[in-house]
Amino acid sequence: MEYIPDRYSSADNGFSYPSSQIIYPAPLRKGDRIAIIAPSSGVNPEAHHLLHRTREYLEQLGYMVTLGDSVWTNDKCVSLPKAERAAELQQFLLDEQVQAIIPPWGGEFLMELLPLLDWDRIREQPPKWILGFSDISTLTFAYTLQTGYASAHGPGAIDISGSDDPTTSIWLQMLTAADGQSVEQYSSTHYQTVSDHSQPGYNLDTSTEWRILGQEDQPEASLQFSGRLIGGCMDVITVLIGTKWAPVNEFIEHYAASDSVIWYLESCEMNAGDIYRHLWQMDQAGWFRHAKGILIGRPAGYSALGNFELTDALQQVFGDRNIPVVYGVDIGHIPPQLTLINGASAIVSVKSGQGSIVQTLD
């Protein structure tokens, strides 16, 4: 049966957006098929064993696994030419036998696939889970905004295999949750500062602390806020500002009356000045209107710009506004990371440097 959600039309640009709440993919069940494809960067031959490790891990969990042609090659930062990557991605998005898509990791240029996808056909299909971070958040961000279907920001296929870390492994609980179910995730105790894919799991060597902007000198500081989650990697989702692939303002206005929005953001390869510029651009584009809170992940590849630090960047954008900001959160390139659902309702609680996020698929 053809699946066509109810829609309303935006008077401003003709964009059609779901009139109901966020639509969640069916929960993953044993026997379902998961596709591992590389719509951004592929995997070089010396790391192919990681793909086999992931397939074995998922099969042990009871899932069927398909490895796409794109995962085996990587050249000039991409797995295959953009037309081939787009065709493969659309094939699996439309394949009724595939219940989830989990790329191995991120990359650089996923944005070039968005104009090549047939979004009308994608909207006519039941939603399916897409899980990833970094450049994959270009896809998950656009997928939710274009369709009203939930998507998941969390560990890639390479990261989930063989790790018994409780923060990482909760991806499975999130993707097997049913409509209306709530799942609580907690801040990690430690995070990893040096990446090493040669062994399963992580070397968690540094204590985790979720910090509240402006209350760093208050060890017992606490806060709580709620809203509907949306976000991704700042390096790549900000490239979509001003394009039709990111109707953020329509999303915000649609949910402002009932929920408002919690932004979660991570970064890679940006210094404090870069982060400020990206946040400033998002703010000028109106993306932080009606925001109930901001979650900032541990920045990877980060450095200060002179004596201008991350906290300076955050203060410049949010310091004089009544929007709570939490940074050092388990999101993004420095593992372990939470699995956050684009579109889910969330309650964020922070106290004494530790935190929790309760997500409800409603």
- DSSP secondary structure code for residue 40 in this structure: S
Q: Considering the candidates 40, 41, 134, 187, report the single residue annotated as catalytic.
A: 134
Is 250 a known active-site residue? no
Query: Using omega within 30 degrees of 0 as the cis cutoff, is the peptide bond preceding 336 cis?
Result: yes
- For residue 126, the 8-state DSSP code is P
164, burial (CB in 10 Å: exposed 0-12, middle 13-18, buried 19+): exposed
Cα–Cα distance, 109 to 113 (Å, whole number):
8
Strands ordered across the beta sheet of 261-266: 182-186, 354-360, 345-351, 222-233, 261-266, 291-297, 325-329, 211-212
Say which of 266, 278, 345, 349 is annotated catalytic. 266
**Count of C-beta atoms within a 10 Å radius of residue 45:** 9
Q: Which of 153, 254, 278, 333 is flagged as catalytic?
A: 333
Q: Is 333 marked active-site?
A: yes
Packing angle of the helix pair 248-256, 136-147 (nearest 10 deg): 50
179 token code pair: 């409509």
Active site (annotated) includes residue 134: yes
For residues 226 and 13, what is the distance between their CA atoms, to the nearest angstrom?
A: 29
Active site residues: 134, 266, 333
